[in-house]
Chain A
Amino acid sequence: MSLNPSPATASGGRRERSERSRWIGAAVSGLLSSVGAVAIALLVGAIVILISGDDPLVAYRALFRGAFGGVRPLSETLVAATPLIFGGLAFSLAFRAGMFNIGVEGQLVLGGLAAGWVGAQAFGLPKLLHLPLALVAAMLVGGLWGAIPGALKARTGAHEVITTIMLNYLAARISAYAVGTNGPLKGEAALPATDPALLSAQLNRLVPGERVNVGLLLGLVCAGLLWYLLFRTTFGYRVRTVGLSRGAAAYAGISWGRTITLAMMGSGLLAGLGGASEVLGLQGRYYDKFSPGYGFTSIAIGLVGRNHPVGVVLAAVLFGALNSGATAMQSAAGTSKELVQILQALVILSVAAFAAVARLQIGQRIMSRRSPGSSGSQGGDRAAAVGMEPDLEARPAPPVV
């Protein structure tokens, strides 16, 4: 600011108008930037296709038809999107509290295991009780698995990125043991899996003959609930305050440790439900290693969806479509199977780049407004809001009067 002082004391009326247009601009660009990022990713992808000697137009047309052209493709897109909706929501809830939950994968795996085992038990219960019981089991186990890193951080400051990665390994080992040879939860068949879930515990198919199931609706309901939780309740307000400014949260008497622990618990709960949906709606039983890394893709979903429930659903459908259209693109345009992964990576990079640019602009805006006397702790708080990673060095707020 020292070099080019901004005209911060310009006349009132003009100032307000420019503030307003800038603010509207920010909202619109927030909405459009994810879309724009996807467009750019597809454009770069087209270049990649061209270089590999294929016709991008043909490829993309095939991709689109493979994802949306008919009941079967549409169903497969939504099937692929379902676990990502849950995972993306899970990641977003934690992220809103300033927590980077890499442990969605482990929470999802153990939730699936719990649902699979409960679903396979012949309790003699009607569906109205058995299915909810299995889902609740998944939520409990997933929520517990998520609460652990939250509580560890609240108590000891142990970084959640480290602890959730470790808990992911632990979850994978637990799963391998539980349904492995002589495992306590292993089913009759010679598979690393539980017994099949009883009909009374299965999520119904939505369209006869297609795999898309009630799990999708469950995911959409969760998105609505999460939106309500974040933006309409005092708990959601606490979560967002803690995530954006620890100093302001302390000022308002919001307990940081309690809030991040609960947010991580909610995050694990959603992830666990995602595992249950996959097991009870799609696979019909719990298989070890049933998740091809849904939890990790979910991080990208949260990022691309800007950690907003609506954005998460859209991002999950986009990734689902890319997955389900991949085969069609491969056979029609002769592109390689890996191209879809390249496209997904391009989407992620492109969204990240957009976020980085936005952060730079906001940073400059703040710098240009800082008066010489004002103290400067804004940077870190804003990074969490705009960008990809929360403040990884979340230190206790400095004691400022």
Chain B
Amino acid sequence: MTAALANAGSPDTTPRETPPMAVEMHGIVKRFPGVVANDGIDLLVERGEVHALLGENGAGKSTLMNILFGLYHQDEGEVRIAGQPVRFHGPRDAVNAGLGMVHQHFMLIPRFTVTENVILGMEGPGALRLDRQSAERRVAELGEAYGLRVDPRARIADLPVGMQQRVEILRALYQGGRTLILDEPTALLTPQEVEELYLILRRLTDAGGTIIFITHKLREVAAVSDRVTVIRRGKTVGTRQTADTTARELAELMVGREILLRVNRSLARPGEPILIADNLTVQNANGLALDRLSLNVRQGEIVGIAGVEGNGQTELVEALAGLRHPDQGKILLKGKDITGADPHQVRIAGLSYIPEDRHGRGLVLDFSLTENVLLGNADDAPFSRHGRIDYSAAETITRQVMTEFDVRAPSPATPASSLSGGNQQKLVIGRELQREPDFLLAVQPTRGLDVGAVEFVHRQLVAERDQGRCVLLISFDLDEILDLSDRILVMFNGRIAGEYESGRVDRAELGFCMGGRTDEESTLVA
């Protein structure tokens, strides 16, 4: 098993012509209903390199890798492994072809030991008897060979995240993986663990292995990759030698350079600050999620928060919505201190909140539309009095929401689960806006929606602003931020890393700031 990598990287004995690429993907197209996730992507990965796949959230990286790993099948295009055209019917085929995938969220069984996890699904033909000792020995050998030192007998639940990731890598190697796909492997790691991961990847490629490294962080591209392919909106926009490119160029490639078209949006006339967050600090398991963050949103403006996922946006939203008690700092809504208030109190103080996850949070799918309109409002007039819900009032309001926000459903009694995603989102937005909030917190409000629904939602947000309300928009879609915001704040590492006025933003500059870079002209490789 240790020999797996060596095999792959040992054409040394024969005089080399042009060795085939480890992975070739040509003209990959993958359509989902309403979305073209991949629109003719080319990706060429040479043997023995670390190839970074760079792109914003939603650019199509994950879809592409899922196609490569046999989880999806492309609508058009061709995949070749080591020069041979392949057609995978599932991950097992991909594994047999020498691919291995390390998912962002580990697929390990916490109660099992390292060895048990590594050999899962590969227990061998004698299924009744598990040769634990020799399996453990092989896992240890494999770990030794690539610097993936981890105790084969430790239980996964007892290991830190960095170690768990090593187990994932070990498993891919054990299964004969010669080309490993790492999906945002640093997302959950501490800086030290990241450094160790880089070393491991180097060893793997030195031994002839190939790495595809999915990321949206420029720093990582610089630190670990030999070459980088940039994807934007489902298309390949370029492949570069990492040594020959600059952070600025990559940022431009990643976020695009075109001038925005501003539609139907007048200039903001901001008034008094409505929402003030002062020195918010939130600690979570991985350290400081929010680091003395301050911001304010004024009446009649849309403030957009740009940033790569995982830079504290979740914690900020939860703190503002009353779902999380900040460790330090203050939140004022219309001058009223709402720090530490529960979600219902915050709503009464004037917040409406469009959550990112409409299925898990914004809606109860088994409830009717009326019952969903009650969500968060059930205790307040006119929806209830003395603990008794007035369903006819609720239904009247539901009908209004359905008309005003174009929620297409047969009746208010329809279960929310039977609506399309766009109509579900319109229901959530309608419910939140019919309360005429002072402050609207909109998190990824158009996620997963088709173009028509996106436009509708955007128009609603601008209309709210024009009525003198204030809107805080948090989105990982830079175009959405740029289209809608009067002011743009960039979040990085739990802080506001930059502030830009609408219309005076250079996309590349923004992408650059999102990547955590400030010295913009330096090349990537120091």
Contacts and interface: CB of A to CB of B under 8 A. Distances in A.
A327 to B, nearest CB: 42
A200 interface: no
Interface stretch (B178-186, B342-350, B465-473): B342-350
A3 B73 contact: yes
Contacts of A177: none
Contact of A23 (B32, B35, B321, B415): B415
A331 interface: no
B409 A16 contact: yes
Given A2-B73, A244-B367, A251-B375, A234 B388 contact: yes
A2 to B, nearest CB: 4
Contact of B33 (A8, A23, A376, A398): A8
Interface of B: 31-35, 37, 58, 63, 66, 71-73, 313-315, 317-318, 321-324, 342-347, 353, 355-357, 359-367, 371, 374-376, 378-379, 384, 387-389, 391, 408-411, 414-415, 417-421, 443-444, 447-448, 450, 474
A385 interface: yes
Given A5-B33, A233-B389, A248 B362 contact: yes
A26 B414 CA distance: 11
Interface in A1-17: 1-3, 5-9, 12, 15-16
A19 interface: yes
Contacts of B63: 372
B365 A253 contact: no
A395 to B, nearest CB: 12
A57 to B, nearest CB: 41
6 contacts: A12-B408, A20-B414, A234-B379, A251-B353, A372-B63, A401-B317
Given A234-B378, A251-B353, A381-B365, 9 more contacts: A233-B389, A238-B378, A251-B361, A252-B376, A369-B421, A371-B448, A378-B365, A397-B361, A401-B355
B303 to A, nearest CB: 16
Contact of A252 (B33, B343, B356): B343
Contact of A16 (B71, B318, B353, B408): B408
B378 A248 contact: no
B350 to A, nearest CB: 14
A156 interface: no
A26 B417 CA distance: 12
Contacts of B342: 253, 255
Contacts of A240: 364, 367, 371
Q: In the complex, which of the residues B63, B324, B367, B444 has the most CB atoms of chain A within 10 Å of its own CB atom? A: B367
Interface string A150-173: 000000000000000000000000
Interface residues of A, number: 54
Contacts of B364: 240-241, 244-245, 248, 381
Given A23-B415, A400-B361, A371 B356 contact: no
A373 interface: yes
A375 B447 CA distance: 10
Nearest to A237: B378
B322 A9 contact: no
Nearest to A371: B448
Interface of A: 1-3, 5-9, 12, 15-16, 19-20, 22-23, 26, 232-235, 237-238, 240-241, 244-245, 247-248, 250-255, 362, 365-366, 369, 371-378, 381-382, 385, 397-401
Q: In the complex, which of the residues B314, B361, B443 has the most CB atoms of chain A within 10 Å of its own CB atom? A: B361
Contacts of A8: 33-34, 420
Lowest 9 CB-CB distances: which A-B pairs, in order?
A253-B344, A253-B343, A373-B448, A20-B410, A252-B376, A377-B360, A401-B314, A247-B360, A374-B448
Contacts of B324: 399
B359 A374 contact: yes
B32 A372 contact: yes
Nearest to B377: A252
Contacts of A9: 33-34, 450
Given A19-B410, A371-B35, A373-B448, A385 B357 contact: no
A32 B389 CA distance: 29
A235 to B, nearest CB: 6
Contacts of B374: 237
A369 B358 CA distance: 14
A16 B448 contact: no
Given A371-B421, A371-B448, A399 B314 contact: yes
Contacts of B32: 1-2, 5, 371-372
A181 to B, nearest CB: 47
A9 B452 CA distance: 11
Contacts of B388: 232-234
A373 B63 CA distance: 10
B53 to A, nearest CB: 17
Contacts of A26: 415
Contacts of A250: 323, 343, 361
Contacts of B415: 23, 26
Contacts of A245: 360-361, 363-365
Nearest to A401: B314
A381 B346 CA distance: 26
Contacts of A254: 344
Contacts of B419: 19
A142 B90 CA distance: 54
Contacts of B409: 16, 19
Contacts of B418: 19, 22-23
Given A16-B408, A23-B418, A401-B314, A247 B361 contact: yes
A23 B414 contact: yes
A247 B417 contact: no
Nearest to B346: A253
A240 to B, nearest CB: 8
B378 A252 contact: yes
Contacts of A238: 378
Q: In the complex, which of the residues B34, B359, B418 has the most CB atoms of chain A within 10 Å of its own CB atom? A: B359
A234 B378 CA distance: 6
Nearest to B316: A401
A385 B366 contact: yes
Contacts of B315: 399
A251 B448 contact: no
B476 to A, nearest CB: 9
Nearest to A5: B33
Contacts of B33: 5-9, 371
B327 to A, nearest CB: 15
B313 A401 contact: yes
B448 A233 contact: no
B72 A2 contact: yes
B444 A401 contact: yes
B314 A251 contact: no
Contacts of B410: 16, 19-20, 23
Contacts of A399: 314-315, 318, 324
Contacts of B345: 253
Given A245-B364, A247-B360, A372 B35 contact: yes
A244 B391 CA distance: 19
Contacts of A251: 321, 323, 343, 353, 355, 361-362, 375-376
B360 A400 contact: yes
